[in-house]
Amino acid sequence: MKKLPLILIALLAYANSFSQAFTTTAQYQKTQVPSLQIEIPFPQKTVDKAIEDKMSKLGYNDKSDHDYTLYKEVHLPELGNGTYDLYFETDRKSRGEKDITTLTFLISSGYGKFISDTDDATVTDNAKQFLNNLIATVTAYDLEQQITTQQEIVKKADKKLSGLVSDGEDLVKKKKKLEDEINDNSKDQTDQQAELARQKQILTTLISERK
């Protein structure tokens, strides 16, 4: 098994310090239904994108259902042998804790029949573990986003450096050309001084021949 990067291990340790998933109730279409909740130590947008990425890779597309993101007819062995409709709702924990997201999770066996721990304790326990594991999923997703962003920063920095190196090479060429022109000019000045002296001497000679 590949060794996990130290930064990912640190992030997972931080994430795992949060509370585990627990059963509760939530409002759906003005009715209290069985649900599970967990706090995930990432901003709401990151959690939403990580869930979307995970479900998309599993072949499921989302749709909006009131305040929830719904994935219909999902078969996940980690939840159970059945096919389920999964409802996700995310919200920041509080105004002062915007980097912590409260995730509410509903599981339906279809037609709005939501599963509780008394209906199916196994599925509920599996759902808790699914949510607990989701923390690692979001952590890994966030790390990949940071890596992608940093790669772009490095790419831009490298491109800028290449531009500066190219400009430097051009400046060196211009400097060499200018130095050559300065040397040529200096030689031309010396030659012209000699020519001026020669012409003055001719003038002096001609003047001396006046009657």
Burial class (CB in 10 A: 0-12, 13-18, 19+), 23: middle
The pLDDT of residue 1 is above 50: no
Average predicted confidence (pLDDT) for the chain: 91
The Cα 114–Cα 84 span in angstroms is 10
Residue type, 131: L
pLDDT the model gives residue 23: 95
Task: State pLDDT tens for residues 67-121.
Answer: 999 999 999 999 999 999 999 999 998 888 889 999 999 999 988 899 999 999 9
How is 117-161 classified by DSSP, letter by letter?
A: TTT-HHHHHHHHHHHHHHHHHHHHHHHHHHHHHHHHHHHHHHHHH
Beta-strand relationship, 31-40 and 22-28? antiparallel
Segments making up each domain of the chain, as ranges: 6-151
CATH topology of domain 6-151: TATA-Binding Protein (3.30.310)
Task: State pLDDT tens for residues 169-210.
Answer: 999 999 999 999 999 999 999 999 999 999 999 999 999 998
The Cα 50–Cα 36 span in angstroms is 18
Task: State pLDDT tens for residues 7-21.
Answer: 555 555 555 545 699
